[in-house]
Amino acid sequence: MMPASDRLDATFAALADPTRRAILARLALGEASVTELAEPFAMSQPAISKHLKVLERAGLISRGRDAQRRLSRIEAKPLEEANGWLEGYRQFWETRFQHLDALLDAVRSHMGDEGAADGDAPKRRRPRKK
């Protein structure tokens, strides 16, 4: 088994392609053969097979052994690990958006004050650094 960091490398690299993400979206609905996967894409089966190999090496899919109708199946684990890594930053971006919300609220209440301020010139506030 790959070390966790190598697995994340492989997962993120595999996800960095729109066709591979679309293949995963299709496989989330159920197993599919290469022929079925190639249909919605303007792509040859060998091109799709190449993408499947990348997904398989990253552990994002597994493939049946039946040579006639080799079904691909999505695997949940690497997606969950990648999500786990990103979740570590959730607090970070949520805090960032709370700051933006607070800033917007301040701007709105400031505009409200102006409306109620009998035509006084609005107080100049130091702009908040971005």
Buried b (16+ CB within 10 A) or exposed e, 38-58: beeeeeeeeebeebbebbeeb
Q: Which of 90, 124, 125, 126 binds a copy of itself (CB under 8 A)?
A: 90
Q: Exactly one of 86, 102, 106, 117 binds a copy of itself (CB under 8 A); which one?
A: 86
Question: Is 69 one of the binding residues for a copy of itself (CB under 8 A)?
Answer: no
Among 92, 115, 123, 124, binds a copy of itself (CB under 8 A): 92
Q: Is 95 exposed, middle or buried (0-12, 13-18, 19+ CB in 10 A)?
A: exposed
Contact status: 2 vs a copy of itself (CB under 8 A): no
Residues at the interface with a copy of itself (CB under 8 A):
5, 8-13, 15-18, 21, 24-25, 28, 62, 74, 76-77, 79-80, 82-83, 85-90, 92-93, 96-97, 130
